[in-house]
Structure 1
Amino acid sequence: MADATDPAAGTKPRRIVSSAHLVSDKAAELSEFEFGLIIGYHAFSRWMVRCMAAAGYPELSPLDVLVLHSVNHRDRDKRLADVCFTLNVEDTHLVSYSLKKLAASELVSREKRGKEAWFKTTDKGRAACDAYRQVREECLVESFQTMGLDTKAIGELAGKLRALSGLYGQAARAATVL
């Protein structure tokens, strides 16, 4: 929803936000950023599910896809805590459920070492990740390249997004003590 003010009339600049009542005079850009996150998150979630479906695995949720790729990352075994930390997920039960689902689909395997379970992708899981990558190259990367966007600017934007996610994480912790 856009704020209907007119910058030419000397009033507040026009902002594209989802909740005008949350826009702060101190940092209106945060509301614009949050709206971008909202629509970006949902578009990215749809993309992951549809890309994985095109790769042959239509039953996976966005979190399942993220967990699978995280476990596959650098071909190293991961613990539940490792995956949660990498994905910045506090609710370990959500990632645990995804790992159980991926294990039931034979995309990851579980090995008990001492008191902890370690996960790694199976051959089938690695093949699923490779198929996802092929679909990603064809449907996303090629389109990205034709847009002519400044790849350095995209990298800088990614760094700013990580920094802002830290700010939101800190704010979330502060909100728990209010």
Structure 2
Amino acid sequence: MSKKQAVSAQIAAVVTEPAAEISPIEQTVNAFEYAAWHFGSAFARWRRDCLGAMPTNALGGTEASILHVLHLNGTPKGLSDVARLLHRDDLANLQYGLKKLLSLGFIEKASNGASRRNTTYVPTEPGRAIVDAYLQHRRDTLVRLVGSMSGTQDALQQATSILHVMTGLYDQASTILSSQIGDTLGLRP
């Protein structure tokens, strides 16, 4: 069985677990995770297709995310700001994305710090044009669709709050699990 087939089988097992064998809260968590997988895939598809409609197709998801974060509030941001705002800890990938955006001329250094971590970046005019085009596509399609449904704004605000809380719970659960794995493997004193 291939790795992809094994993962598909695991997902199918989660989705088809008999409801009588798991608690109501576990059923709710299962349903949330399944919806999160669907949402994540749909959001990734949206970003890919929206980026595909941009004047340049040189950006991948990471670079587009970095460019959007650097565009936020019109203030220069460094690597640690980008990592925090994107909730990512893969600094090497973010550094690569920053280098790519610099080489494409979509961002520029706003300050040279004593180290790479202290250097801040801002979008250039072409970089701002890409973000503005993305935002216009989003306004013309997604925001219009969301706006056509009554009560959606309040529901999205509540969902946003819940997603932030769940992000914290997943982070905490991951930390707990990592420490337990370390204990099990004898890596912790």
Is the TM value for this pair above 0.5? yes
Partners of 2:54 and 2:36 lie apart in 1 by 26
Partners of 1:173 and 1:57 lie apart in 2 by 39
Alignment correspondent of 2:119: 117
Tell whether 2:55 aligns with 1:59. no
Quote how far apart the aligned CAs of 1:125 are. Answer: 0.7
Alignment correspondent of 1:128: 130
RMSD: 1.9
Tell whether 2:38 aligns with 1:39. yes
Could you say which structure has the higher helix fraction?
Answer: 2
Q: Which amino acid aligns with 1:18?
A: I
Tell whether 2:140 aligns with 1:138. yes
- The 3 A distance-change label for structure 1 pair 146 and 40 is same
Alignment correspondent of 1:18: 11
Partners of 2:31 and 2:56 lie apart in 1 by 34
Instruction: Confirm or deny: 8 A CA contact 1:50 1:58 kept in the other structure.
Output: no
Structure 1: give runs of 5+ residues left out of the alignment. Answer: 1-16
Identity %: 26
Partners of 1:138 and 1:73 lie apart in 2 by 20
Instruction: Confirm or deny: 8 A CA contact 2:71 2:128 kept in the other structure.
Output: yes
Alignment correspondent of 2:3: none
Quote how far apart the aligned CAs of 1:35 are. Answer: 1.1
Partners of 2:47 and 2:80 lie apart in 1 by 23
Tell whether 2:22 aligns with 1:29. no
Q: What is the aligned length?
A: 162
Partners of 1:36 and 1:59 lie apart in 2 by 30
Instruction: Confirm or deny: 8 A CA contact 2:146 2:152 kept in the other structure.
Output: no
Residue-by-residue CA offset, 1:137-165 (whole Å, 9 max, x unaligned): 11211111123343112101110011001
Moved more, 94-103 or 166-175: 94-103
Partners of 2:56 and 2:175 lie apart in 1 by 36
Partners of 1:171 and 1:103 lie apart in 2 by 37
Alignment correspondent of 1:71: 70
Give the TM-score of the pair, scaled to structure 2: 0.79
Partners of 1:91 and 1:19 lie apart in 2 by 30
- The 3 A distance-change label for structure 1 pair 141 and 134 is same
Structure 2: give runs of 5+ residues left out of the alignment. Answer: 1-9, 181-189
Partners of 1:121 and 1:50 lie apart in 2 by 22
Partners of 1:137 and 1:130 lie apart in 2 by 10
Give the TM-score of the pair, scaled to structure 1: 0.83
